[in-house]
């Protein structure tokens, strides 16, 4: 069956009187934009949530909340992403949908990992792994092992991290899942960098880059170049570190992936500090502050809009009663 084009999906959303059909179109279009326009993806998922709640469709409401959460954490809006993932967990639990629960727990793990709350991140990823194995979802289970490996790397448990990455890589290779393979290779490369095994790390990073270029995955390419930058920073090759971080920023800009841009500004800040270029470091730390400020402003605007809608509904209700 052929997928609807973007134009067809937009037409369905505009003219369909069937709420279920409209929600399905919103979710599909949100997914289509998830690799090219994260803000658009989130707005569509938010509309899908609203419509799904209106027709009391818990399955689609849960899926919409997961898509909202995924877009928001990539936009570095971790607080709001967490709220959506928690709502998804509630809905999936009410339906005893264990595969859905695994997906939502995974989102919560990612958010807590980004917030450096590593014990909580590990707990959520382990719950996601348990639910994935319970329903026999090998791909999602492998993803959770990779996520667990990433957290273990952050807390410097490198041998345990490598064990999880290699276990996950084996599954993804059996499934011939190229994005999964690339992610695990990237994880292994990261461990090698922090172990000081730079030659091994470069071998893995090159394989990671080749896969993402073949898949035309700009998000993955940006992550790869960022890691090349980190590797060269660790090697004290500052010129090449700047070169790769700048290349990563170009790809992050093209994909509008704020979470990567946030990390890149942090990398640049640390790099220029070590280079003794305080003015340049300050520029990037200011950009981190601006991103955080922008996120907060958007959150306030969103809450104001919700309040205004509720007030309009309440006022309308009073007039109807009168």
Task: Reply yes or no on whether the pLDDT at 295 is more than 70.
Answer: no
CB 34 within 8 A of CB 70: yes
User: In the chain, what are the helix, strand and coil shares in percent, each to the nearest 5?
Assistant: 85, 0, 15
Q: How far is the C-alpha of 18 from the C-alpha of 3, rounded, in Å?
A: 19
Q: What digits encode the pLDDT tens for the residues 169-193?
A: 999 999 999 999 999 999 999 999 9
Task: Reply yes or no on whether the pLDDT at 146 is more than 90.
Answer: yes
Mean pLDDT of 18-25: 89
Mean pLDDT of 40-61: 92
Mean pLDDT of 22-31: 91
Per-residue confidence band for 91, with pLDDT thresholds at 50, 70 and 90: very high
Helix extents (H) in 156-277: 158-175, 178-194, 198-214, 218-234, 238-255, 258-274
Phi-psi region of 117 (alpha: psi -120 to 50; beta: other; left: phi over 0): beta
- State residue 297's pLDDT score: 62
Kindly report the pTM of this predicted structure: 0.75
Task: Reply yes or no on whether the pLDDT at 311 is more than 70.
Answer: no
- State residue 143's pLDDT score: 96
- Burial of 167-189, coded b for 16+ CB within 10 Å and e otherwise, reads bbbebbeeeebbebbbbbbbbbb
Task: Reply yes or no on whether the pLDDT at 306 is more than 60.
Answer: no
Mean pLDDT of 213-242: 90
Per-residue confidence band for 318, with pLDDT thresholds at 50, 70 and 90: very low
Task: Reply yes or no on whether the pLDDT at 279 is more than 50.
Answer: yes
Task: Reply yes or no on whether the pLDDT at 276 is more than 60.
Answer: yes
């Amino acid at each position: 069956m052929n997928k609807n084009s973007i134009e067809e999906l937009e037409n369905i959303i505009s003219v369909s009187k069937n709420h279920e059909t409209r929600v399905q179109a919103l979710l599909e279009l949100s997914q289509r934009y998830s690799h090219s326009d994260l803000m658009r993806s989130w707005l569509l998922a938010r509309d899908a949530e609203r419509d799904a709640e209106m027709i009391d469709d818990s399955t689609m409401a849960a899926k919409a909340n997961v898509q909202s959460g995924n877009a928001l954490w990539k936009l570095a809006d971790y607080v709001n992403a967490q709220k959506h993932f928690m709502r998804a967990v509630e809905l999936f639990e009410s339906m005893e949908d264990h595969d859905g629960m695994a997906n939502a727990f995974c989102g919560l793990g990612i958010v807590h990992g980004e917030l450096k709350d590593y014990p909580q991140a590990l707990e959520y990823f382990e719950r996601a792994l348990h639910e994935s194995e319970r329903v026999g979802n090998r791909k999602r289970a492998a993803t959770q092992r990779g996520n667990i490996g990433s957290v273990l790397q952050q807390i410097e448990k490198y041998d345990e991290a490598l064990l999880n990455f290699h276990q996950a890589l084996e599954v993804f290779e059996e499934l011939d899942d190229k994005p999964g393979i690339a992610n695990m290779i990237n994880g292994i490369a990261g461990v090698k960098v922090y172990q000081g095994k730079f030659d091994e790390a470069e071998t893995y990073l090159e394989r990671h880059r080749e896969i993402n270029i073949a898949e035309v995955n700009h998000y993955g390419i940006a992550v790869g170049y960022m890691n090349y930058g980190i590797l060269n920073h660790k090697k004290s090759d500052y010129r090449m570190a700047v070169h790769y971080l700048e290349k990563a920023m170009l790809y992050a800009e093209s994909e509008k992936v704020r979470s990567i841009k946030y990390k890149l500004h942090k990398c640049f800040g640390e790099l220029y500090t070590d280079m003794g270029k305080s003015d340049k470091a300050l520029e990037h730390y200011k950009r981190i502050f601006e991103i955080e400020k922008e996120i907060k402003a958007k959150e306030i605007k969103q809450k104001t809009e919700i309040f205004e809608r509720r007030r309009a509904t309440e006022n309308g209700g009073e007039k109807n009663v009168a």
